[in-house]
Structure 1
Amino acid sequence: MFQDLDETLKAILDDASAPADLRAADVSFDTPDKNYKPAEATVNLFLHDVSENRSLRDEARVLTRTNDGYASRLPSLRVDCSYLATAWSAQAGGLKAAEEHRLLGLTLLWLSRFPVVDERFLRGTLATPPQAYPLPTMVAQVQENRSSGEFWTALGIAPRPAFPITVTITVEPYDEVEEFPPVQKIDLRSTSVEHPLFRGVVIDQSLVPVPAATVSVTETGAQATSGPDGEFAVPGLEFGAYTLKVRAAGRPDEQVAVTYAADHQTQTVVLSGP
């Protein structure tokens, strides 16, 4: 994953449209510590911080269409990968500083052209499968609560010109996928506040209507029989809490606790068993 991001950044710096001096320089991802002494002009991109981008976090599950219905999975993680860009020269004295400054400036100008990484630069797992979101970049943005002095001290070298680069990639850490069948139809049932009627539908576990089922209200003894579409209605029932007893041929009896109110006049009863 991170090595593929390294190769992606290298592809940007090696692009045929990049400045010639930048293309001629080596690109390194080694740690630029006190033992780091490249033998040629080098752009070093040191990956020093990886953290979740919480501002881009999405708590909602991702729903996608499949051939047989729908698939639901947990949302992707958006991860900020922060590099420190430095330039290195094998020359000495003033020539060394001049080459490093020129190379660092070219790197800054060129990378600033890509606020979003172009798909043609993506490598490895960043290209296949395709990223769920484009890869935004931030170049030379100051990061709060970061001390550059402590950073260079930790590397054991004197401070040198540098700028940060942050690329946000998408990570898929979850394998769990829930699959659902496609929606076959949508039934809309209207109700009336002025003339309420308790009614509902009896279906099996495959969502198929169950006709000729007897629906009894235990508390009042009122009964109704479901029609060909599984629907039933019990007139004259007062608002309140009730227990429905449902009998259907070839199935065990089912008891369902329901609440009948002006804003809850319909009930779906799902029968268990075959």
Structure 2
Amino acid sequence: MFQDLDATLKALLSDPAAPPEIRATDVSFDTPDKNFNPAQATIDLFLHDIQENRALRDNAPLLDRNESGYVSRRPLLRVDCTYLVTVWSTQSAGLKAAEEHRLLGAALLWLSRFEVIDASFLRGAITMPPQLQPLPVSLAQVREGQGMGQFWTSLGVPPRPAFSMTVTVGLQPFDEALELPPVQEVDVTTVVSDRPALVGRVLDAALRPLPGAPVTVVERGAATTADQFGRFAFGGLDFGSYTLFVRVEGRPDQRKPVTYAADAQAHDVIMPGR
């Protein structure tokens, strides 16, 4: 997968719209250590840091529509892939530094045009399945507490001009998918703000109502029976945490913890199959 991100970045640097001096350089993804000695002017992108982007973590499942209904999948893992971008010249003395600085600046300016990477540049497994969000790019950012001195020392080479490039990709660690039927109807449960009530429905696994099901609020000992549409309601309860207990003959008992609040009054109970 990371090799496909490499290929994506190489396509970005090789784009016909890129500056000619950028297109004329070689693109490498090797470790820029003391053994790195390219034979021509080279832009090297060294992938050295991979971290989950927790700020973009979303626990909501992904829903895709198909011919028979919907497919639900686990949420994506969003991962920051950080490259160290350096330029290597085959010139000598002052000409070497001049060429490296010129090409490094040109690379920075070209890459800074892309806040996100357009889908036309994506290569390999990054496109299968297609990325749900564009791949954001950040340049020349250093994480707090991160210094480059120890980095260059570990590579065994003197420090050299460089900038970072971080690309965030979405990965799907799980193959399994849940097939869901299409929506047949919409059932809206209404509540009145000045007369709150803990309301809901008792449903089977296919979301069909289970009329006559006894429902109890365990902490209060309050009990009622679901009507012909599976609906139940408890008035006069203080807002707080409760447990709904439902017992239907021929099915396992169901206990559902709920948080009852002004903006969370409706709580359905799905009963397991027989």
Normalising by structure 2, we get a TM-score of 0.73
Please state how far the C-alpha of 1:204 moved relative to its aligned partner.
6.6
Identity of aligned residues (%): 53
Which residue of 1 is the match for residue 73 of structure 2? Answer: 73
- State the distance in 2 between where 1:102 and 1:232 align: 72
Is 1:135–1:167's contact at 8 Å kept on the other side of the alignment?
A: yes
- State the distance in 2 between where 1:3 and 1:22 align: 21
3-state secondary structure, aligned to 1:75: coil
Which residue of 1 is the match for residue 23 of structure 2? Answer: 23
Which residue of 1 is the match for residue 123 of structure 2? Answer: 123
The 1:107/1:255 distance shift into structure 2, 3 A limit, reads closer
1:3-50 deviations in Å (ceiling 9; x for gaps): 111111111111111111111110000001001111110111111001
3-state secondary structure, aligned to 1:158: coil
Which residue of 2 is the match for residue 136 of structure 1? Answer: 136
Please state how far the C-alpha of 1:245 moved relative to its aligned partner.
9.1
* 1:1-274 superposed matches below 5 A: 1-187=1-187, 206=206
Aligned partner of 1:68: which letter? S
1:118-169 deviations in Å (ceiling 9; x for gaps): 1111111122321111001011122221111000001000000111111111
- State the distance in 1 between where 2:26 and 2:102 align: 14
Root-mean-square deviation over aligned CA pairs: 4.4
Higher radius of gyration, 1 or 2: 1
The 1:136/1:207 distance shift into structure 2, 3 A limit, reads closer
For structure 2, the 5+ residue unaligned runs are 193-199, 215-224, 237-244, 256-264
Aligned length: 252
Aligned partner of 1:85: which letter? V
- State the distance in 2 between where 1:5 and 1:50 align: 12
3-state secondary structure, aligned to 2:116: coil
Please state how far the C-alpha of 1:57 moved relative to its aligned partner.
0.8
- State the distance in 2 between where 1:214 and 1:173 align: 40
- State the distance in 2 between where 1:131 and 1:159 align: 36
Please state how far the C-alpha of 1:201 moved relative to its aligned partner.
8.8
